[in-house]
Amino acid sequence: MIKVLSTKMMRDADNYAVSNVMPEIELIRKAGKAVFSQYHFKGKTLIIIGSGNNGGDGLALAKLLKEDNKDVSILQLFPITKPHLLELLSECIDSFIPIYEYSSSFKFTGYDTFVDAIFGIGFKGELEGITKEVVEKINSLRTYTISIDINSGLNADNGITKLAVVSDMTVAIGFVKPGLLLNDSKDYIKYLTCINIGIPYNGESYYLYNSTDFNKEFPKRKYNSHKGTYGYVGIMGGSYKYSGSVKLSNLALVSLSVGAGVSRVIAPYAICDSILPFLLESTIFPITSNADNNFSFEEDEIHSAITGLSALGLGMGMGVSEDNCKIIEYILLNYDKKLLIDADGLNNLSTMDLNLLNKSKADIVLTPHVKEFSRLINRSVEDILNNPIEYAIKFTEEYNVTLLLKGTATIISKAGKVYISATGSPALSKGGSGDILSGIITGLMGYKDALSSSISGAYIFGRCGDLALRKYGSYSPLPRDIINLLKEIMKKY
């Protein structure tokens, strides 16, 4: 997995490197060299610099381009005062690189490449004044744009912005930062790469799950295996109003084969006839319906329904009711295998005592989107979006669960550790998509542990979204299209 460092972690790493590895100016030179190595610069290049070390990276790049006989100019937005940056600026002057001080009359046309070296990871808040004006001008043109370390205007910890440089390429220096993956980031970064420049870091970090990790998770299956090898799993959900949710989860789980051996759909008796045509290879376990034709809490039936299951996905489309709260409490206190709670399961849980999570013997996965998570922890959506990793860590330190927080990138946390899956696209922005994810993870839990099922399940689901975007675009894909693309992801395993 790839290390992901918060602003504080990255500053600690930089400070250690400067104190123990190399002078600050050498780190900056290495950053400039890293960007130089990632793109074949041609034509005229304009490097837009601020007054901090990110601007220093731009100066170092400018000198390298000049040495390579490239046509490069520098646009300086603010005065530089730090001695090591003045040294770099002096080297650019001595190399006869044109340096312009910004004014509103400056012409951005006529360049083949822009390099954004205005703000680094220390930027917070919103762009204003000169920087707002410059970034708007950069974004209004179709000039190929490279951002050094992070797009100016983007928050390095949460990826939130109202305005930032839109880059064709962002070259992260040393380590990936969370803000390059979360919230608004994908709308501003077309291609992200990260270059190691020799900054050591052995402290606690977050981790980005990638294709190499995924390939290790799914070795070729042995011929000498059978359905019991891969687990009996259950999908429990649906209601008179929302029978479609459990259909989708079941299709994701069984028909398109993420690997579970046998599946069972557990649903209110009143909707079983509507589900049966969609079950394909699955079995169904009806539960007595209440007066509203939804789940009734019948302890013996619930016990029979979950007995023998190695994993259970609970909550999709089941509605919120007193009966459902009783069902969830019973399962939490009596089921001791792998348990995923999603959708209305979370909405019911938010009205209950969360200490039940710590009393449970089950290996629990919760899969909320931000609104569902806000109900669970009684914090605003805005607070969570501003500090998603912090809240995920805090929750999993307090409760013995795996938390999968859905968003632009998916944050998975267990016991305070954080993993990020950055696959996915706007093609997944349809009702029913979350049910598919729940079906995938539950299917994987038939034969894998809850944490690895959550991480790899989020990755698989996101890959389906990436394929859907390429195949169908961002508007038209339906959940059934996402389900069909599971085959494309899993066929090599």
CATH number assigned to the domain comprising residue 348 = 3.40.1190.20
* pLDDT, tens digit (0-9, with 9 covering 90-100), for 220-251: 888 888 878 878 999 999 999 988 888 767 76
Looking at the structure, do residues 330 and 258 belong to the same domain, yes or no?
A: yes
* pLDDT, tens digit (0-9, with 9 covering 90-100), for 245-263: 887 677 667 555 787 778 8
Looking at the structure, do residues 99 and 144 belong to the same domain, yes or no?
A: yes
Looking at the structure, do residues 329 and 429 belong to the same domain, yes or no?
A: yes
Measured from the Cβ of residue 203, the count of other Cβ atoms closer than 10 Å reads 11
Looking at the 3D structure of the chain, how many domains does it have?
2
Rounded CA-CA distance 239/229 in Å is 31
Q: What is the pLDDT of residue 252?
A: 64
DSSP 428: G
Looking at the structure, do residues 264 and 148 belong to the same domain, yes or no?
A: no
Give the type of residue at 310: S
Q: What CATH number corresponds to the domain at position 29?
A: 3.40.50.10260
Looking at the structure, do residues 110 and 162 belong to the same domain, yes or no?
A: yes
Q: Are 246 and 235 in contact (CB under 8 A)?
A: yes
- Note whether residue 2 is domain-resident: no
- Note whether residue 248 is domain-resident: yes
Q: Among the three residues 185, 204, 223, which one is the final residue of a domain in this structure?
A: 204
Q: Which two tokens stand for residue 11?
A: 């500053």
Q: What is the pLDDT of residue 91?
A: 98
Looking at the structure, do residues 257 and 140 belong to the same domain, yes or no?
A: no
Looking at the structure, do residues 165 and 120 belong to the same domain, yes or no?
A: yes
| Whole-prediction pTM | 0.95
Q: Is 279 a residue whose pLDDT tops 90?
A: no
Q: Count CA atoms closer than 13 A to 60's CA, side-chain side.
A: 24
Rounded CA Rg of the chain = 26
Q: Are 422 and 208 in contact (CB under 8 A)?
A: yes
Rounded CA-CA distance 443/218 in Å is 14
Q: What is the pLDDT of residue 253?
A: 73
Q: Which two tokens stand for residue 155?
A: 């928050």
Q: Is 373 a residue whose pLDDT tops 60?
A: yes
- Note whether residue 5 is domain-resident: no
Structural domain that includes position 378 = 212-490
Looking at the structure, do residues 269 and 405 belong to the same domain, yes or no?
A: yes
Q: What is the pLDDT of residue 243?
A: 87
Cβ neighbours for 94, distance < 8 A, ≥ 6 positions apart: none
Rounded CA-CA distance 69/290 in Å is 79
Q: What angle do CA 177, 180, 184 make, to 5 degrees?
A: 140
Looking at the structure, do residues 428 and 462 belong to the same domain, yes or no?
A: yes
Q: Is 272 a residue whose pLDDT tops 90?
A: yes
Residue 228 phi/psi, 5-degree rounding, is: -70, -25
DSSP 291: T
Sign of the C-alpha dihedral, residues 197, 202, 204, 208? Answer: positive
Looking at the structure, do residues 236 and 197 belong to the same domain, yes or no?
A: no
Mean pLDDT, residues 349-361 taken together? 98
Q: What is the pLDDT of residue 345?
A: 98
* pLDDT, tens digit (0-9, with 9 covering 90-100), for 55-108: 999 999 999 999 999 999 999 999 999 999 999 999 999 999 999 999 999 999
Q: Is 281 a residue whose pLDDT tops 80?
A: no
- Note whether residue 314 is domain-resident: yes
Q: What is the pLDDT of residue 254?
A: 59
- Note whether residue 65 is domain-resident: yes
Q: Among the three residues 171, 204, 237, which one is the final residue of a domain in this structure?
A: 204
* pLDDT, tens digit (0-9, with 9 covering 90-100), for 473-487: 999 999 889 888 988
Q: Which two tokens stand for residue 492?
A: 């090599």
Cβ neighbours for 267, distance < 8 A, ≥ 6 positions apart: 236, 237, 238, 243, 246, 275, 284, 285, 286, 287
Looking at the structure, do residues 115 and 219 belong to the same domain, yes or no?
A: no
Q: Which two tokens stand for residue 241?
A: 């109003």
